[in-house]
Every structure is written in C-alpha cells, then in structure tokens.
Amino acid sequence: MTKHIGAATLAALALAAGITACGSGTDAQGGGAPVPFKLGTFERGGQAFLGLALKDTQIVDIAQANAAFEGANASAPKLAAPADMKQLIASYDGEWKARLASIAKDVSTAAAAPAYAYALDSLKVLPPVRPSVILNAGGNYTEHTAGIAAQQQRAGAAPAAPSKAESAPGIWERKEGDTRDNPYLFQKSPTVVVGATDPIVMPRGRTNIDFECEFVTVIGKRSKYVPVASAADYIFGYTVQIDVSDRGGRGDRKMGGSDWLIGKNHDTFGPIGPFIVPKEFVADPMNIRHTFTLNDQVMQDSNTNRMDHNIHELLSYASNILTLSPGDLVSGGSPAGTNIERAEPRWMRAGDTAKCAIDGIGTQVHQVVAEAPATATN
C-alpha cells in the first residue's frame, strides 16, 4: 500500500477566475473563490480510478462523485465518466471543468467526508496519465549546461568548438539578437513511466545512474505548428518527472559513445506524478522552485525561471516537429546539481531514497532498488 508522500505547498496555487464552482444544484458560477484541486489516477482494491485531490490528502473518486452529483441534481447535464486521464483532459474545458469545480466545493464543505472520498495514504498512486509522447529538454538550464562544460574541462575533455547558432528552417526561426542555442528535445519511451512512489530500479551492470528533477507541461489539446504567443492555450496543466539517466555510455565509438536510448530509457526511468495540476491553479509556472534530495541531502535546488527556453517556447518547438495530443508531456529539463557536473559524483544506488519536489505541483519519493536477476521472457 502506498503511503502519503507529503503535502505540496497549496499556497502557491492560484485561485484563478477561469474555473467555475458552486454548491449542489448547478454547474453555474457560484459565490466565493473556487476550491483548488489536482488530478491523478489511483488504485483501490485492485481497481484503478480517476481521482480529484483536495489538499494533497483526500482523493475523490470522480466517477462515483459525478454519479452522486447527478443523482442530487436532476437538472444537471449528464456526463459520461471519462475512461482515463487523456479523455478527461480532452473534454475538460467543454464539460468537466465546471463539474469538477462543483464536486470539489461540495466535498470540501461537507460536514463529513462522503463514501467516495478516500485518504491518499490508503491508495496506490499510479501514473496520473499514460502519455503517447514524452519529450524532455536537454541542456535547458544555464547552470546545468555550464556545470557540464566545467566538468568536461576538469576531466580534460576538449569542448566542442563554439559556433554561432542558426535557425532550423521550418522548426525554429531565430529572432534578431537571440544568442541562445536552439531548443533541444529528446524522447523518453512511455513504457518507462512509473508512479510517484514506485521503486526506481538500477539496471544490472550499470553503475552511473543519475537524477534530474523536472517540471513538466501536460498538453491539453491537439498541437501542431503552435506559435509561442499562443502556447499557453494548448497547455492543460503541470506535473513532476524524475528524468533518471544512465551516464555510463555504450563502450564504443558510435556517436562518440553517446546513446540516448541507453541513457534515458531503462525501465522505471520515467516516474511522473503524483498529480497533474490544471493550469488555472498555477499562478506563474515560469517561477516555481523545485528540489531533489538523495537520502535527505539536497542535490538540486532551482527554479523554472532558470530555463534557457521557457515552457511556451519548448511546446512551440515540439509542435513544429510532431503533433502533440492531450496527455502528452513536454519536460523543461534538468536544473544544475546532477552528477554529470560533479568532480566527485554520487550516483544513485540500491538502498537510496530519491525525492523530487516541485512547489505547488507535487512530490515524488522513491526507494532505489537493485534489478532482480535476469530471466528470459516471451
């Protein structure tokens, strides 16, 4: 059974006016501020369900709560419960935004918790969404990139010859005076996704396993050729990811020994969650602190305002390459503090506890474990 992983800072959530809330009887705008909530996928008694999180401690079964709401409100529109988070995201603005606001307000003001509300620590936390596409930014925090370069110099590795960045036609057109490199995104396989409290498995024979605590944008609708100025309209919300990374290389000369499949895509190397926070509850996604601790020692402590390319630029860049769909993820990349920057790295190993916390979004806590002996599978 998964235990409660600690409350995120709800004070950081914006009580934005874009969401409707009311008491029982209607989905129309009600009095008072809307009740902030988060969304996730959970398991109880072997059954998975979509949940609405209140104060990071109480999880409301959305399907059960909706049935109760419609039973008590005969005039309310009848909504078919979404089968998964992707369906909920796709229909959120048109149907579920107001309904979930009503449910959140009713549950939060009830004299006693209803039967369809459960304590988080009584549930198993599953990945909040099963994305079809996961894109992660590389070298997107100034200090992280500088730290890698400094360590390469200490190790005697010759840095790449500097050159002036140029536009990538059809993908990233540079504005005059922009001296940054172009955005860089790589793919992580959706099959490596695990939940926010699941173990992180050290692959057999691999020892240089690194951590990267990352702020992630969740796509809200089909996105293709999205201008930077319009990118916010295509965002559903935000979540947390640890981009677990194998720095051990491939042991030969192909591509300079670098291999992004090995480096980023071992099983369990993509934990996400525990929640997705709808964007209306995040006051400023470009100014959010995030930290990573290994056995309670702070290894990373940064802010999304340190990104080289912000979340809107990354979404636009990605959409100029491939089509993004509801529930897909675009991570902002890792801040400074990873082992690849350290003269004396402290790689993750079995027995460690890894914790990634992003203010107002959520916290992941993982036990790091050794991989079981290899067995053939069909």
**Given a cut of 50, is residue 156 above it in pLDDT?**
yes
Residue 2, pLDDT score: 37
Q: Does a structural domain hold residue 210?
A: yes
Q: What is the CATH number of the domain that holds 141?
A: 3.90.850.10
Lowest mean pLDDT among 138-147, 154-163, 238-247, 295-304: 154-163
Section 273-288 average pLDDT: 98
Residue 149, pLDDT score: 64
Length of the chain, in residues: 378
CA 7 to chain centre: 16
Section 133-143 average pLDDT: 90
**Given a cut of 80, is residue 146 above it in pLDDT?**
no
Section 115-130 average pLDDT: 98
Short-list 176, 172, 198, CA closest to 185: 172
State the CB neighbour count (10 A cutoff) for residue 227.
Answer: 11
Residue 366, pLDDT score: 98
Q: How many domains does the chain have?
A: 2
Residue 31, pLDDT score: 61
Residue 162, pLDDT score: 60
Which tokens sit at 313? 């630029």
Q: Does a structural domain hold residue 272?
A: yes
**Given a cut of 90, is residue 290 above it in pLDDT?**
yes
Q: Does a structural domain hold residue 285?
A: yes
**Given a cut of 90, is residue 277 above it in pLDDT?**
yes
Do 91 and 148 reside in the same domain of the chain?
Answer: no
> What's the domain range around 79?
10-126
Do 148 and 75 reside in the same domain of the chain?
Answer: no
Q: Identify the band that residue 193 occupies on the pLDDT scale cut at 50, 70 and 90.
A: very high
Q: Does a structural domain hold residue 377?
A: no
- Using a 10 angstrom Cβ sphere, with 0-12 exposed, 13-18 middle and 19 or more buried, the burial of residue 9 is middle
Do 269 and 146 reside in the same domain of the chain?
Answer: yes
Do 325 and 357 reside in the same domain of the chain?
Answer: yes
Dihedral, CA of residue 365, residue 371, residue 350 and residue 339, to nearest 10: -80
Per-residue pLDDT tens over the stretch 51-62 = 999 999 999 999
Q: Does a structural domain hold residue 3?
A: no
Pairing of strands 270-271, 193-194: parallel
Q: Does a structural domain hold residue 170?
A: no
Residue 33, pLDDT score: 85
Supply φ then ψ for residue 89, to 5 degrees: -65, -45
Q: Identify the band that residue 340 occupies on the pLDDT scale cut at 50, 70 and 90.
A: confident
Q: Are 345 and 208 in contact (CB under 8 A)?
A: yes
Do 305 and 342 reside in the same domain of the chain?
Answer: yes
Q: Does a structural domain hold residue 290?
A: yes
CA distance linking residue 237 with residue 219, whole number of Å: 7
Do 75 and 198 reside in the same domain of the chain?
Answer: no
Do 186 and 276 reside in the same domain of the chain?
Answer: yes
Do 216 and 322 reside in the same domain of the chain?
Answer: yes
DSSP letters spanning 157-193: PPPPPP-----BTTTBPPPTT--SPPP-EEEE-GGGE
Residue 215, pLDDT score: 98
- Can you name the residues that pair with 218 across neighbouring β-strands? 237, 329
**Given a cut of 60, is residue 273 above it in pLDDT?**
yes
Q: Does a structural domain hold residue 378?
A: no
Section 138-161 average pLDDT: 69
Residue 123, pLDDT score: 98
Short-list 54, 62, 65, CA closest to 7: 54
**Given a cut of 70, is residue 41 above it in pLDDT?**
yes
Residue 23, pLDDT score: 38
**Given a cut of 50, is residue 19 above it in pLDDT?**
no
Higher pLDDT, 375 or 64: 64
Which tokens sit at 324? 């993004």
Do 278 and 221 reside in the same domain of the chain?
Answer: yes
Higher pLDDT, 159 or 127: 127
Do 339 and 220 reside in the same domain of the chain?
Answer: yes
**Given a cut of 80, is residue 91 above it in pLDDT?**
yes
SS3 at position 155: coil
Q: Identify the band that residue 349 occupies on the pLDDT scale cut at 50, 70 and 90.
A: very high
**DSSP strands (E only) in the chain:** 38-44, 47-54, 58-61, 117-119, 124-126, 134-137, 185-188, 193-194, 200-202, 209-210, 213-219, 235-242, 245-246, 270-271, 277-278, 289-294, 297-303, 329-331, 353-358, 362-370
Residue 323, pLDDT score: 98
Do 150 and 64 reside in the same domain of the chain?
Answer: no
Amino acid code (one letter) for 267: D
CA 21 to chain centre: 26
Average pLDDT, whole number, for the chain?
Answer: 89
Residue 161, pLDDT score: 57
Do 122 and 196 reside in the same domain of the chain?
Answer: no
State the CB neighbour count (10 A cutoff) for residue 356.
Answer: 25
Section 94-116 average pLDDT: 97
